[in-house]
Structure 1
């Protein structure tokens, strides 16, 4: 009888103990989550950061993080890379679910969506305090793009990439063609010169230029003629702007006449950079990022040139590709995240990241020496001029960047034109229809 009672007591204790263990195991993930969101076991504030990028680029990002942590030993930043093809959707989903990173890279096409759904905090007030490592005036106005709404800043450009034209100087010499720089020095680097050199390259059985259908890329041609798709107030004017219409016809003629090849018609896996290095094309348009690839090819002789002008000006705007660093509106460490964001994008942060790096140039003023000190090309100054004169996606002149999905629709329409399926007039009609539909009451 006593044995039965003892066994019964043991069973009860076992049940209670099992229940306690189950409860403890159930609480463990919650306790871990609380620990990771509030700080590490060392008492540091831990910030979660996400970004896209290649392994090499991630190492560059880490340089900025390490420099910040050295100066702020009470804050730890954990970088989690996310593939670029799934980055936007993953970020938006996590932010909506309340478990997003504290600070993160934002692409120019994503910025408008995050501002609209209030996922990111305005940084203007913090940037005006003594705690900020950088100020609004440290950046050229054209760099803000969609990140600036009125007087509010929602993201800080991490660096920038103004578009220039790369030309294969070795190919030009081999074919006996006067270089774009020679035309530029004579004050004659214009559309006629561009047509002339691409005619000669085509006559040699090659392509003169690779043209993209991206709406921001096409605006480089509009601006080179003094025309606009959207004016400086963000109003759509392509259907009325004769100079922009003339530019669209010019660039389409280049493609249809074989002086340029449309990037959308290239075989899968074959890029403009490969064509350039194999001397199958004389010129390509890109930011500083191609320099990192071209620099490794010791036999490649190349240089930059500014966009050819058709209105007599040498300083027409060019598109600037950039990404921004923003802060989660639901972050539990908002001030620490804002502090990190301003450091990472400051002179100090960008100098740490960009020194010796040929993927981008500083977005912040005052440290151009890291680009000009040991330039990979003879005319690095065209990148810096592009930053000064340029326009980032989402700025008034590229207003489509503020309307989710609009620029993709516009690029799809330009694609049809470059493929020879419709003329510029029909293209403008379709662009106008889409813009009026998507913007609607926004303007």
Structure 2
């Protein structure tokens, strides 16, 4: 989508290609495939290993293993492996780095393999879900997860603070950002955390898109060529977030680590795949609701993850066959327990409910199905790793009690504007 000269990430991906191919040349009769993933969650690994066991029954000489890498440094660790000649056979790829991987030449085209797989039914895969993972009509990574962001709620903490629960606010037509922050503030005043934007941690600013999209804000224009951090919607959204942090104490401030799933916060914004972190002993009454309404109206934001096959792997043809097996109709139903599918037939509450025992049909319909249908995918751009660092550094000036937000956002645009315009 955004055509640019090669980024540092693209160079790192492509740089290790020849070395990795040479190292892979002497593969033994037994094929051991390795896939890097970001999650070390027990439930996720059990699901993936079960799918790998099923593949081994069909391919006895093939073993598939999964290598979790830290979420915070995942893409850097992956590109380092590739550049160092230790490329995995398959990789979980974040939506933010999709353009870099697709444009680098490091991924094996998947379209023909999927189309040739009996019973795969590639025709039911949503074209909207594959846009970021394709080039010139060819699919280079399968979007196995298209997951809306939503708000998990600890109703016990909200009620204890004497505030209205999000469900009550929704029923009253008052589920808006000001009311959500008021609820979070009430809980925070009692000594617990208010609203946690999970994975943000004042570093991964792209996760704030789950908030600022409510103002119609974006980091850059739709064509990716112009910085829009200094535009009115973003300045107003950042002002609202800043007040929620420093004036109302409704959002944990810099350096404060609060875990909703440990029962320490009123609400958290994250994707439904994190439902696996909910306490199994049901120590608190929880709910899942859509994102609050912003000044620009109702909205949804979606995160994606793709599975790509690295050309530098040991056996790219067998790795592509595994991706086809992992994402076939039967296994897509299993994956949908945590990772909403790109398959149209699985995007309804009835089907999702069969593998999502934790979530009610109403939650699945209002949060997952509706969110996928209407949501925008998290921001991404070619050379995203570089842009991410530049913006993160510029936002440090915003995360101060007496920040000059308009000046800080103008400075960000001065930094990233030339890169966007290339």
Which residue matches 1:288?
A: 272
Determine if contact 2:194/2:252 at 8 Å carries over to the other structure: no
Q: 1:8-27 deviations in whole A, cap 9, x for unaligned?
A: xxxxxxxxxxxxxxxxxxxx
| Superposed CA offset, 1:342-387 (max 9, x none) | 22123322324455xxx44434332354642354244233133223
Contact 2:36–2:88 (CA<8 Å) still a contact in 1? Answer: no
Is 2:215–2:295's contact at 8 Å kept on the other side of the alignment?
yes
5+ residue gaps, structure 1, are 1-31, 41-45
1-structure distance, mates of 2:314, 2:230: 49
* Aligned CA distance change for structure 1 residues 223 and 59 (closer, same or farther; 3 Å): same
SS in 1 for 2:194: strand
Quickly say closer, same or farther: Cα 1:134–1:425, change in 2 above 3 A.
farther
Q: Distance in 1 between matches of 2:334 and 2:110?
A: 22
Greater shift after overlay, 295-304 or 124-133? 124-133
The one of 366, 388, 391 equivalent to 2:373 is 388
Q: In the alignment, which of 170, 176, 190 is matched to residue 190 of structure 1?
A: 176
Matched, 1:303 2:282: no
**Structure 2, unaligned stretches of length 5 or more?**
1-22
Match of 1:364 in 2: 343
Residue 174 (structure 1) aligned with residue 160 (structure 2): yes
1:62 paired to 2:45: no
- Name the residue aligned to 1:376: 358
1:162 corresponds in structure 2 to 148
Instruction: Indicate if the aligned counterparts of 1:413 and 1:430 stay in contact, CA closer than 8 A.
Output: yes
Separation in 1, partners of 2:152, 2:216: 22
Length, aligned pairs only: 387
Equivalent in the alignment of 2:29: 39
Give the aligned partner of residue 34 of structure 2: 49
> Given the alignment, which residue of 252, 256, 266 partners 2:242?
252
SS of corresponding position for 2:278: helix
TM-score w.r.t. length of structure 1 = 0.75
Cα distance in 2 for residues equivalent to 1:132 and 1:55:
30
1:410 aligned residue (383, 391, 405) = 391
Conservation of the 8 A alpha-carbon contact between 1:133 and 1:339 = no
Residue 301 (structure 1) shift = 0.6
Q: Deviations over 1:186-210 (max 9, x none)?
A: 3321133224323433444544312
1:277 offset after TM fit, Å?
Answer: 0.2
Residue 254 of structure 2: which of 247, 257, 264 is its match? 264
Q: Distance in 2 between matches of 1:337 and 1:169?
A: 44
CA gap of 1:255–1:113, structure 2 versus 1, over 3 A, is: same
Does the CA contact (< 8 Å) of 2:220 and 2:229 recur in 1?
Answer: no
Query: 1:133–1:342: 8 Å Cα contact kept in structure 2?
Result: yes
CA RMSD of aligned residues (A): 3.3
User: Does 372-381 or 428-437 show the bigger shift?
Assistant: 372-381
Paired with 1:255 and 1:99, the residues of 2 have a C-alpha distance of: 42
> Structure 1 326/439 Cα, relative in aligned 2: closer, same or farther at 3 Å?
same
Q: Retained in 2: the 8 A contact 1:400–1:407?
A: no
Indicate how the Cα distance of structure 1 residues 348 and 419 shifts in structure 2: closer, same or farther if over 3 A, else same.
farther
Q: Does 1:317 align with 2:317?
A: no
Q: Which moved more, 1:297-306 or 1:235-244?
A: 235-244
Report the equivalent of 2:215.
225
Instruction: Measure, in 2, the Cα distance between the counterparts of 1:161 and 1:391.
Output: 11
1:349 to 310, 331, 349: 331
1:438 alignment partner in structure 2: 419
Matches of 1:305 and 1:99, distance apart in 2: 42
1:427 aligned partner = 408
Distance (Å, rounded) in 2 between the aligned partners of 1:312 and 1:239: 17
CA shift at 1:164, angstroms? Answer: 0.8
Q: Report the CA distance between 1:327 and its aligned residue.
A: 1.2
Look up the SS of the partner of 1:264 in the other structure.
coil
CA distance in 1, matches of 2:185, 2:74: 41
TM-score normalized with structure 2 length: 0.79
From the CA coordinates, give the structure whose radius of gyration is larger. Answer: 1
1:238-293 Cα offsets, whole Å, 9 max, x none, are: 24642232212111111111342345321xxx43326x603xx3211111243222
> 1:176, 1:421 → 2: CA distance?
31
